[in-house]
Structure 1
Amino acid sequence: MAGQRLMVFSAVNRTVIFGAIWLVLTEGNPGGLAFGALTVPAAVWLSLSLLPPSRRLGMLRLIAILPKFLLGSLMGGVDVAWRSFKPRMPIAPDWIVVPVALPDTARVALGAELSLMPGTLVAGAQDGKLLVHVLDRHADHSGIATNEREIARMIGLPEEAP
């Protein structure tokens, strides 16, 4: 029963998200509504088939981390721009391996989030670890663990899990 409710909840959420994406892509053009009425359910069915829901996503928790993500992305962009205009700024590119205790789908979300932040690029995952390219190996990368904990809270994992 709980699994069925989770499936319905996920289907409704994905329908709303894919519908909103469709409206943005078609710029709300009424001519695209008929095709969208076919495409959105197909996309929902495909997404549920390829990535079945495993946990209920805490939307309030997701909204709560959004401002921090946007600010971090902005600050990272300023940092990269500053380094490009000041050639003497420290750049020591390197690869770091980060062990992650999140389930597969959440690990992918963490990798995507880190890749959107300037200065880090996740190039792969294997055996529960992320391979991350960083602009400065001497910089503090403890923010990665913080992001992991936030994603764990967002999907309802116990605090001590990651």
Structure 2
Amino acid sequence: MTYALSTVGRFLGLLLLWWIVAGGDAAFWYYGLFSAALATALSLRLIPPVRPGVGRRAGRRGRPWEIPGLTVWFLWSALSGGVDVARRAFAPAMPISPHVARVPIGIRHPGGRRLALWMVNLMPGSLVVDEGDGWADLHVLSAELDIEASWRELNRRIARIVGD
């Protein structure tokens, strides 16, 4: 039942988004139906709905009110990371020594796990190069950067939001 409700909800939400983008013009409604159906199928494949009891600890609920805190933390991390990358690019004294760090993925929720991997790719100077069941290999610009601490904080924040 949860899967069906999630599918219908996503489809209707995407259809509404298409209608808004189309300016309320229903002249090409079949494009909207096709686009919403395709986007729904893709979203279900990439971020499947969580079935009851899977991906959550018993009795734990997500904390969506912590999303603004994650957003602020992420924007600050991205800004400071961007400044660091720029300094390294323009100052020869700043070391650039590419390094790959294997970090544990502590999030069991599939959507939360995927979000963490996507977000770390958006942070300047880091990139996911490989992943497994409980780990990810992150490429960073320098071994001196404390990517593990940033990764743990990102995992902690997302896990609290998704209730993991």
TM-score w.r.t. length of structure 1:
0.75
Identity rate, percent: 32
Residues 100 and 50 from structure 1, CA distance in 2 versus in 1: closer, same or farther, beyond 3 angstroms? closer
Q: In the TM superposition, what are the counterparts of 1:4-153 in structure 2 within 5 Å?
A: 4-5=1-2, 7-9=4-6, 11-13=8-10, 15-16=12-13, 19-20=16-17, 22=18, 28=23, 30=25, 34=29, 35-48=31-44, 51-54=47-50, 58-103=63-108, 104-141=110-147, 142-153=149-160
Determine if contact 2:127/2:138 at 8 Å carries over to the other structure. Answer: yes
- Deviation (angstroms), 1:15: 4.2
CA distance in 2, matches of 1:6, 1:156: 18
Task: Tell me which amino acid in the other structure corresponds to 2:95.
Answer: P
Q: Which has the higher contact order (CA 8 A, sep 6+)?
A: 2
Unaligned runs of 5+ in 2: 52-60
CA distance in 1, matches of 2:12, 2:129: 30
Q: Which runs of 4+ in 1 moved over 6 A?
A: none
CA distance in 2, matches of 1:67, 1:18: 30
- Deviation (angstroms), 1:69: 1.0
CA distance in 2, matches of 1:118, 1:12: 34
Deviates more, 1:54-63 or 1:33-42: 54-63
SS at match of 1:122: strand
SS at match of 1:133: strand
Determine if contact 2:104/2:135 at 8 Å carries over to the other structure. Answer: yes
Give the alignment's Cα RMSD to 1 decimal.
Answer: 3.0
SS at match of 2:73: helix
Deviates more, 1:78-87 or 1:97-106: 97-106
Residues 116 and 129 from structure 1, CA distance in 2 versus in 1: closer, same or farther, beyond 3 angstroms? same
